[in-house]
Amino acid sequence: MLDKTRITLDINGRRYAIEVEPRWTLADAIREECGLTGTHLGCEHGVCGSCTILLDDEPVRSCLMFAVQAANRKIRTVEGLSDGPTLHPLQQSFVENHAIQCGFCTPGFLMLAIGILEREPDISEEKLIDLLSSNLCRCTGYENIVKAVTAAAKRMRTGS
Amino acid sequence: MKPAPFTYHAPTTLDSAIALLTELAPLDGRVLAGGQSLVPAMAFRLARPAHLIDINNIAALGHVTAEAGTLSIGACVRHAAFHRRVVDGPLGYLLSDVVSHIAHYPIRIRGTFCGSLAHADPASEWCLVAATLGATIVARNASATRKIAAEDYFRGALTTALEANELITEVRLPLLPDDSKTGFYEFSRRAGDFALAMAAITYRLEEGVISSPRIGIGGIEAYPRRLINAEAELSGHSPSSTLFARAAEKAAAAVDPTEDKHAAANYRRDLARTVVLRALERSIAC
């Protein structure tokens, strides 16, 4: 029953050869087997969005799929955003706009927002707010998160 | 909050998936498509399937095709496919209008249209669309392919005519004529929450007169259905606010609302009136 399967996860361009039980979620495998604990687990049933990662460049809940399903797919997590000590413009914008308080939801929001902005750099604020409603934050009241993503979108468009 | 152990199967052809399902359904085997309802149920251990048959690697189930008056939606087509209009005309518009109400964006990336029909949550938008438009659910087992009409398909909350050894291979929706009007309205307390009530409307408008009206409600009763009495109110008349109010009143009178911790029956009845009226109002706005 507890037989493990060998799989390879491709996370942030690095390949992780791991053994997983089929019942392990992708989130658990990323954290426990690959040691990438930036992806957070909040509710573990798809409501809070803390575990949002990019799967083939689309934001998905990593607690709502099994690790075996993600073998050899392109996975991106929050650890892949910064360039060494230099923060990604979206991360920098979260700092500048006070979009972080306790920080638990932040990795999920960052990956959700990256997934949205890469696909639709000119997204309207109305649509952005609707899409950001996917994830929960219990500290900021969301205003500063919207502000940070909007500012980052502008910065990413102009490349400044 | 961790799923119980199971044996994982990942067939790459429809035939092998059906063979596995035939063998494993009696051993508590289940089909895994998008997993956006099944996996949370497993995390809560409300579901503890012994086997999961993952159909995501079957390329033949990813089709959305429109031909001969029918839109066919394969078993692995994600909700997100409908963000763009998958077909010209009123049906493509209706589907793209409805999809934005389904859960949240990351859920729509994984969840599937046919999976929603297999799960049959009372608050499922796609189940409402299927019931309203008169969808055909195509289900296959090892010996036969069965075409189930939507009106025979829904049996109760999370309960359908689908047998344990059957896989939904596709769902077919009738294309709507170009002179069709459509309207959808959903009420939920927060963006992305389960609908407390929703309505989907279509009718044809020929020389200003309504024909072939369909009014479907969802989230109010155990499963979605058309309200024939309310539809009859519309036939042969021209759209007007008084006509729409009369139809909405008939709808509220016709429903037998579910009562639960989220809403009392009377409240859901009021919502039935409101969502039907607003869906009708939206039908003339587009």
Q: Tell me the pLDDT tens digit for each residue of B31-79.
A: 999 999 999 999 999 999 999 999 999 999 999 999 999 999 999 999 9
Same domain, B68 and B170: yes
Q: Tell me the pLDDT tens digit for each residue of B123-138.
A: 999 999 999 999 999 9
Residue closest to B139 by CA, chosen among B174, B170, B114: B170
The A residues from 25 to 64 touching B (CB cutoff 8 Å) are 25, 28, 44-46, 49, 52, 55, 58-61, 63-64
| Residue that terminates a domain, selected from B136, B152, B174 | B174
Whether residue B249 lies inside any domain: the answer is yes
Whether A17 and chain B come into contact, CB under 8 Å, resolves to: no
Instruction: Report pTM.
Output: 0.97
Q: Give the ipTM.
A: 0.96
Taking the C-alpha atoms of A59, A65, A66 and A72 in order, what is their torsion angle to the nearest 10 degrees?
-30
Whether residue B202 lies inside any domain: the answer is yes
What is the domain-level CATH number for residue B184?
3.30.390.50
CATH class belonging to A5-74: alpha beta
Judged by CB atoms closer than 8 Å, whether chains meet at A134 and B3 is answered as no
- Domain assignment of residue B41, given as a range: 7-54
Same domain, B185 and B278: yes
Specify the pLDDT at position A2. Answer: 67
Is pLDDT larger for residue B53 or for residue A2? B53
Same domain, B90 and B158: yes
Distance from CA of B123 to the nearest CA of A (A): 16
Residue type, position A29, single letter: A
Residue A74 — φ and ψ, nearest 5°? -85, 115
Whether A65 and chain B come into contact, CB under 8 Å, resolves to: yes
CATH class belonging to A89-158: mainly alpha
Q: Tell me the pLDDT tens digit for each residue of B95-125.
A: 999 999 999 999 999 999 999 999 999 999 9
Give the start-to-end residue ranges of the domains of chain A: 5-74, 89-158
What confidence tier does A160 reach under pLDDT thresholds 50, 70, 90? low
Whether residue B11 lies inside any domain: the answer is yes
| Residue that terminates a domain, selected from B141, B174, B207 | B174
The A residues from 78 to 97 touching B (CB cutoff 8 Å) are none
From the list A23, A69, A112, the residue facing B2 with the nearest CB is A23
Residue A107 has a CB neighbour count (10 Å cut-off) of: 23
Is B20 in contact with B55 (CB distance < 8 Å)?
Answer: no
Q: How many domains does chain B have?
A: 3
Specify the pLDDT at position B191. Answer: 86
Judged by CB atoms closer than 8 Å, whether chains meet at A45 and B190 is answered as no
Give the separation between CA B36 and CA B32, rounded to whole angstroms: 10
Q: Tell me the pLDDT tens digit for each residue of B187-227.
A: 999 888 999 999 999 999 999 999 999 999 999 999 999 99
Whether residue B2 lies inside any domain: the answer is no
